[in-house]
Amino acid sequence: PFEVLVIGGGPAGAAAAIYSARKGIRTGVAAERFGGQVLDTIDIENFISVSRTEGPRLASALEAHVKDYDVEIMNLQKAAKLVPAKQEGGYHEVVLENGASLKGRTIILSTGARWRQMGVPGEDDYRNKGVAYCPHCDGPLFKGKRVAVIGGGNSGVEAAIDLAGIVAHVTLIEYDSQLRADAVLQRKLASLPNVKIITSAMTTQVNGNGEKVTGLSYKDRNHGTEHDVELEGIFVQIGLVPNTEWLKDTIALSPRGEIEIDVRGETSQPGIFAAGDCTTVPYKQIVIAMGAGSTAALSAFDYLIRLPAA
Ligand code: FAD
């Protein structure tokens, strides 16, 4: 059994493991895919103090740093069930999909999130070649170019406002007959000269030249007509889904399925902490996930040293 058992091996989990191991306590990390979303990223230009790096390079650096310490890494292990300790200070159990089970006196949940995809032809082929999901990350790569934002909820409209200040032109595409974002955001968006809003539009295809995105096609849902828009980038903003389906009966989740945490990373269960994109933390970024993982590990240590001596 572990004193700290981390579930998830992205930036949050790696930071949590390093901070725990540095306290000299028995630490394990189980991850479905060590590296997390970073593995799916090409350019990273906002990892502070590193002007530019690439996802796979940062992922191997994360793993190498964790391996500097006495941490047991269990890669390709998917957690399926959490059984909290029966009494304070007892072991929590995590049952893996393969039937094995792991025990930890504290648990740090850092299972991250995934961007909801449009599921249209071309989306997969042009991911990181014009199809993007994170305006804070990739917006500056489209400086002076034309982009579309898919989705007229708060995140889509926020992304369109953000991008309008960087790129040449933004086309916002919403499936419904009206935007769903807060009125104040919609007013701000409508005031921008380089934004066009298209409602009742279903994106049907991402178009490209084999190397990068050249446009998109959509269907006008009122008239059934097909239209093409020429552009260089597409930001898909139709939801970020936390990887917490397996926790819904044991831990308090927000209406969006995010693990509710306080400023110390504590969840609704004593001795169980959480960090990163799977939580209610307001912004989902690498440096933020790393900070949160460190916070959760220090809180777990604080919890352990307060348990009565056995
Ligand atoms: P994740 O990175 O999602 O890691 C989650 C971990 O949990 C993974 O190891 C996963 O396999 C594991 N896991 C999930 N479910 C289970 C389970 N049931 N059992 C066991 N393990 C499980 N951020 C930036 O700051 N800068 C950027 O430039 C940037 N670019 C991005 C580009 C793309 C294409 C994407 C998708 C994201 C980008 N981000 C960027 C966001 C950044 O990657 C995330 O904020 C960050 O990775 C979150 O870290 P995390 O550890 O919370 O979660």
Per the CB < 8 A criterion, the answer to whether 79 and 104 are in contact is no
- DSSP for residue 309: P
Cβ–ligand 1 contact at 31 (below 6 Å): yes
Per-residue pLDDT, averaged over 140-166, amounts to 97
Model confidence pLDDT, tens digit, residues 51-76: 999 999 999 999 999 999 999 999 99
Minimum-distance ligand 1 atom for the alpha carbon of 128: 34
Q: How confident is the model at residue 103 (pLDDT cuts 50, 70, 90)?
A: very high
- pLDDT of 203 reads 98
Distance of CA 119 from the midpoint of ligand 1 (Å)? 20
**Could you read off the pLDDT of 187-212 as tens digits, one per residue?**
999 999 999 999 999 999 999 999 99
Q: In the predicted model, what is the mean pLDDT of residues 260-281?
A: 98
Please state the rounded mean pLDDT for residues 91-101. 98
**276 Cβ below 6 A of ligand 1:** yes
Confidence of residue 49 (pLDDT cuts 50, 70, 90): very high
Which letter, b or e, does each residue of 80-106 get, where b requires 16 or more Cβ atoms within 10 Å of its Cβ?
eebebbeeeeebbbbebeeeeebbbbb
Q: How far is the CA of 257 from the centre of ligand 1 (A)?
A: 16
Q: Is the CB of 258 under 6 A from ligand 1?
A: no
pLDDT of residue 42: 84
Report pTM: 0.93
Measured CA to CA, the distance from residue 119 to residue 132 in angstroms comes to 14
Cβ pair 32, 78 in contact under 8 A? yes
Query: What is the percentage of the chain residues whose pLDDT exceeds 90?
Result: 98
Q: For residue 116, with 0-12 CB atoms within 10 Å meaning exposed, 13-18 middle and 19 or more buried, which class applies?
A: middle
DSSP letter string over 213-263? EEEEEEEETTT--EEEEE-SEEEE-S-EEES-GGGTTTS-B-TTSPBP--T
Amino acid letter, 126: Y
State the pairing for strand pair 92-96/79-83: antiparallel
Selection from 243, 66, 269, 306 nearest residue 58 by Cα: 66
Residue 89 in this model has a pLDDT that exceeds 70:
yes
pLDDT over 80 (residue 12): yes
130 lines ligand 1 (CB under 6 A): no
Q: What is the CA(242)–ligand 1 centre distance, in A?
A: 10
pLDDT at 309: 82
Q: Residue 37: which of 5, 9, 15, 73 has the closest Cα?
A: 9
pLDDT the model gives residue 310: 66
d(CA 310, CA 115): 44
Which atom of ligand 1 is nearest to 46's Cα? 26
Mean pLDDT over 281-307 rounds to: 97
Taking a C-beta distance cutoff of 8 angstroms, is the pair 7, 110 a contact? yes
Mean pLDDT of the chain: 97
In the prediction, which pLDDT does 285 show?
96
- Distance between CA 278 and CA 100 in Å, rounded? 23
